[in-house]
């Protein structure tokens, strides 16, 4: 399987990259981003590209992939809706439309968030619009992952300072919380394994809530 990852330098993307490199069914991993992750591996290649809104120059390098794990995202805290929409909706759809045209047999998995589509919060509305738009593209299949609290494992750290500080403070409690409330807590390892499992074997629904991610991540 050939896998494409957007956002591999972030916490979620870093966890997904780790699991892809460990999976014997994955023969090649290509990351696309404004910078490269620090990992070195014989099946890993990094494409550094400044303007992720326009992938025209990369089209010859973006063909022949079985799956794309789209892990790019920003926190909505302190952002105006127009700015948040540009990164969350516009950027995601710009990349996805190009990939759907180049790889009609691709499985596309988008990292959304728990609570998407519920209530009137700005971030929830924008993410739900993104999910709906992705579902309309001519991929083999498109899935939205809605993780809750994601615990970073294996030395992976969040690039958002207050996120990482929160994890550091609550780290002793998170394993117990994950056991007691799997509908709210997952790990970078589970998310990565779940993406691989869904890309290989599919899932009954196009949206995976946190509990579904944990279930899928256990069976991969």
Distance of CA 11 to the CA centre of its chain: 10
E strands, the chain, in order? 2-6, 28-33, 44-48, 67-70, 107-111, 141-146, 149-151, 185-187, 207-209
3-state secondary structure at position 60: helix
Name the token pair of 10.
């972030």
Structure confidence by residue, pLDDT tens digits, 115-156: 998 888 999 999 999 999 999 999 999 999 999 988 888 667
Name the token pair of 138.
């001519």
Q: pLDDT grade, residue 220 (50/70/90)?
A: very low
Name the token pair of 128.
């739900």
Q: How far apart are the first and last CA of the chain?
A: 14
H/E run at residue 39: none
3-state secondary structure at position 53: coil
Predicted local distance difference test score (pLDDT) of residue 163: 61
Longest dimension (CA), the chain: 48
Name the token pair of 193.
């394994």
**pLDDT over 70 at 157, yes or no:** no
Write down all domains in the chain, each with its CATH number in brackets: 2-219 (3.40.50.720)
Predicted local distance difference test score (pLDDT) of residue 100: 98
Structure confidence by residue, pLDDT tens digits, 85-124: 999 999 999 999 999 999 999 999 999 999 998 888 999 9
DSSP symbol at 183: T
Name the token pair of 53.
């809104």
147 contacts 213 by C-beta, under 8 angstroms: yes
- The answer for residues whose C-beta is within 8 angstroms of residue 119's C-beta and 6 or more apart is none
Predicted local distance difference test score (pLDDT) of residue 119: 80
Predicted local distance difference test score (pLDDT) of residue 130: 97
Name the token pair of 198.
């869904």
Residue whose tokens read 């209530």? 119
Listed residue (34, 57, 54) closest to 46, CA to CA: 34
Mean pLDDT of 74-85: 90
């Amino acid at each position: 399987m050939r896998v494409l990852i957007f956002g591999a330098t972030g916490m979620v993307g870093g966890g997904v990259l780790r699991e892809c490199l460990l999976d014997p069914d994955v023969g090649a991993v290509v990351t696309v981003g404004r910078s490269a992750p620090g990992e070195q591996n014989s099946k890993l290649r990094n494409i550094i590209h400044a303007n992720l809104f326009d992938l025209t120059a990369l089209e010859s390098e973006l063909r022949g992939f079985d799956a794309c794990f789209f892990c790019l995202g920003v926190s909505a805290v302190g952002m105006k809706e127009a700015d948040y929409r540009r990164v969350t909706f516009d950027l995601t759809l710009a990349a996805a439309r190009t990939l759907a045209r180049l790889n009609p047999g691709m499985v596309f998995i988008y990292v959304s968030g728990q609570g998407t589509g519920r209530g009137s919060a700005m971030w929830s509305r924008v993410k739900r619009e993104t999910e709906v738009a992705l579902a309309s593209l001519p991929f083999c299949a498109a899935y939205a992952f809605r993780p809750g609290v994601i615990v970073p494992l294996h030395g992976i750290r969040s690039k958002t300072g207050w996120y990482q500080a929160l994890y550091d403070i609550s780290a002793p409690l998170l394993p117990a919380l994950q056991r007691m409330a799997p509908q709210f807590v997952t790990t970078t390892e589970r998310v990565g394994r779940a993406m691989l499992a869904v890309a290989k074997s599919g899932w009954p629904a196009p949206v995976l809530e946190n509990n579904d991610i944990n279930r899928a991540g256990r069976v991969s």
